[in-house]
Structure 1
Amino acid sequence: MALVKVRRDGNSTVITLPPDLVKKFNLEIGSHVQVTADEQNGCLIVEPVAITPRARHDFLEASRRVIERNRELYERLKRYDRGES
């Protein structure tokens, strides 16, 4: 068991994983993990998740649809941010 500290990094709250756990679970920078709460036992559960090429493709397609559907709003926000409203 490793004792780690919850800390702030920019606007995020992070914990660090000891190198032996990173190696044991074949994690690397950019790996995805799923964090769930076991409220009954007061535990956080961190599980490695493999993002399949199909899941990545589906996510990108959904993102493109959202962007296209809201393009006018994004353009208005861009002009507002630039002081062009």
Structure 2
Amino acid sequence: MTRSKRPKLGEVLRGGEPVVAAPVTTTPPEPPQQGRGEVDTPAPVEKPVEKMVQLNVTVPPELRRAVRIKALQEGVEVSAVVRELLQAWLNQKS
């Protein structure tokens, strides 16, 4: 007995079309041009990645689905939304 694969939520929102990754093409970077009067600026320093831990929350299935749909529509991750909401809650003055 084989089970059919459930479609991903993103596919459902796009009308059932599977996501196909576009081929990645990169062009080599051009060498820096240092001429008279130009200053070689250092590359920007990236912020160190903060260590994350998992937090499990129990919610009704309808809420989970609604949150996932809205996050997909807005192009954000559910985790980012939850982090922002939790931080705002902690920052509230009692």
Please indicate the TM-score interval, normalised by the length of the shorter structure.
under 0.3
Structure whose residues are more often helix by fraction: 1
Higher RCO (CA-CA < 8 Å; seq separation 6+): 2
Structure whose residues are more often strand by fraction: 1
Task: Give TM-score, length-normalised by structure 2.
Answer: 0.21
